[in-house]
Amino acid sequence: MAIYAISDLHLSFGVNKPMNIFGKVWENYEEIIKENWKKTVKENDTVIIPGDISWAMTLDESVKDFEYINNLPGKKIILRGNHDYYFSTKTKMQNFFEKENFKNFYVLHNNAYDVEEYIICGTRGWGKTENNTAEQDKKIILREENRLILSLKEGKKLQEEYLKKGINKKIIVALHFPPFISNFTNIMEEYNVEKCVYGHLHGYGHNMVKEGTIGNIEYKMVGCDYTNFELIKLS
């Protein structure tokens, strides 16, 4: 049983927002992802999807996109990206999945999940220039840092319970935005995070990708157009 990650699917089966307007790399990408996913992921595996899952503005518009993911194997841990406008609260997302009979979806928001030899934590994160004012960005970054701390505290509780049994589970953090601003990396270092995956960057933004071991953490960029629409294996 393995853990994989892939981000920024930007599905648009329920709205008119084709990704190929952003370049030939996005031609027929939904079928490419499906093919890669099915040949890689088994039913008992877990896939982390760190945001920008659907272009839908409402949950009703997102049904076909989540149906597409639901029909792919594995458990899915999802979190919100900056374009997931349909995504309001964890409870509403879980109720939506139950209503549509979509199985094995888990929402990462101020919580943590125990998966195989790892504990999965995370939050959306933020960038420095997402709003018109730096002051608003600072408020959002602080809020997201606090959400990351809440998630890591839950992860730490799970970790300590396993340590009592002699089992040392490591922590993986999933973020939508790259973590290399403000205090995100410092927070992860404090909680002894082993791996961090993120997405968000496209096109020329790939020049800003940082990967590999920095400090004590291994970073991986898992945006699907960066990985050639392959899922990245984490364990």
Superfamily of segment(s) 3-233: Metallo-dependent phosphatases (3.60.21.10)
Residue 168: how many CB atoms within 10 A of its CB?
A: 9
102-146: per-residue pLDDT in tens? 999 999 999 999 999 999 999 999 986 666 688 888 899 999 999
- Binning pLDDT at 50, 70 and 90, where does residue 46 land? very high
Q: In the prediction, which pLDDT does 131 show? A: 66
pLDDT at 63 over 70: yes
Question: Mean pLDDT across the chain, nearest whole number?
Answer: 95
Query: Which of residues 62 and 132 earns the better pLDDT score?
Result: 62
Burial label, 215 (beta-carbon count in 10 A; 0-12, 13-18, 19+): exposed
| Domain boundaries of the chain, sorted by first residue | 3-233
Which two structure tokens, joined as six digits, stand for 26? 């996005």
Q: In the prediction, which pLDDT does 230 show? A: 98
